[in-house]
Amino acid sequence: MSSTDPVGDLAAAAEPVYEQIEGTWAFHEARIQAMGLNDQVVDATEGLPIQLPTGIDSQTAQTAISSIVTAAVARLWNGRTISVAHPGMAKDAVDLDEVLPTTLFDRLPATNPLIVFSRPPKVALPRSGSGLLLGFFVHGLDGDNLTLTSTATPDTELGLLFAVAVLDPHGGHLIEVDDYGERNAIDLIRGIVPRTAPQFTVEQAVSLTLARLDDHGDLIWQPASLHQCLRDLLQAAVGVYLEVLDPEIERAQRHSDAGSVLTFADHINRQQEPERGTYTGPCTGHG
């Protein structure tokens, strides 16, 4: 028997997935507060380069930058829009060498959205093994110096921050323990999609990501191990947007009657009728 509320079903399925992303974001916020790096996060959200205090060793600097970028991207999003992607959207949605117009992203439905999969697809991990793509933040990016900006900023690339839950050899969630406690291991991986050229392919986006991260010393993993992971992630992300934003491609029709991408806020607002501008998604109180 088909559901009478497919929108609600899709949103309900994505809520526990979103909660994992929220937990990761909260963890990085706590870490930057403990490290005294809140000013650097504020600078990053304003499009300024990240300047770390002097005397930080390279390993600590890498950890700090990862947390600063995560917190800054989440603050740019700030609970505005959580979109739920149907689980079928990431599978074979776009070929790696398919030439696509960058004008595709001129029709983004919201500024700096967060996309969450209601049933996360499996992807390769840069650390070996596999993981589940929980979702990804979307933001603008100055491609030359990797500073963050809004998706509405003209003449910028599209920046993506993927949240991937790490699976153990038995297919369960890998648990990691450190000074901040015990939690599911989630890799945060940056991606770049070109918007300043007339057209692009997923493979070109992978190459651009590797080159820009390498130029700025932000490659946490070896390029060879990261390559297949980025292919999986960027193929999924571009596939989601292709299905939603390109009216000439009727791929979305093979998915849920609920539509290709839906928002938590739309579903919840129908029931709660909040005050205008009030966000009532799963992260209420954390925005």
Confidence band for 92, pLDDT divided at 50, 70 and 90: low
- Listed in order, strand segments (DSSP E) in the chain are 82-85, 100-101, 114-117, 122-124, 130-142, 147-149, 157-166, 175-178, 181-184, 186-193, 199-200, 261-263
Q: What is the pLDDT of residues 193-217, one digit of tens each?
A: 998 888 999 999 999 999 888 877 6
Residue 65 has pLDDT above 70, yes or no: yes
Residue 109 has pLDDT above 70, yes or no: no
279 contact partners, CB below 8 Å, separation of at least 6:
79, 80, 265, 287
Q: What is the pLDDT of residues 132-157, one digit of tens each?
A: 999 999 999 987 778 999 998 988 99
Q: Where are the domains of the chain?
A: 6-272
- Global confidence as pTM: 0.83
Strand partners, 160: 138, 191
What DSSP character marks residue 121?
Answer: P
Backbone angles phi, psi at 243, to 5 degrees: -70, -35
Average confidence (pLDDT) over 71-82: 86
Could you tell me whether strands 114-117 and 82-85 are parallel, antiparallel, or unpaired per DSSP bridges? parallel
Average confidence (pLDDT) over 231-244: 85
Which of residues 247 and 72 earns the better pLDDT score? 72
Q: What is the mean pLDDT of the chain?
A: 77
Q: Using CA atoms in the order 199, 201, 202, 206, what is the torsion angle rounded to 10 degrees?
A: -90
Give the burial class of 250: count Cβ atoms within 10 A of its Cβ; 0-12 exposed, 13-18 middle, 19 or more buried.
exposed
Residue among 160, 125, 108, 170 nearest 139 (CA) = 160
Q: What is the pLDDT of residues 12-36, one digit of tens each?
A: 888 888 889 988 988 899 999 999 9
Q: What are the DSSP calls for 67-107, one per residue?
A: HHHHHHHHHHHTTS-EEEE-GGGGSS-S-TT--EEGGGGGG
Neighbours of 215 (CB within 10 A): 12
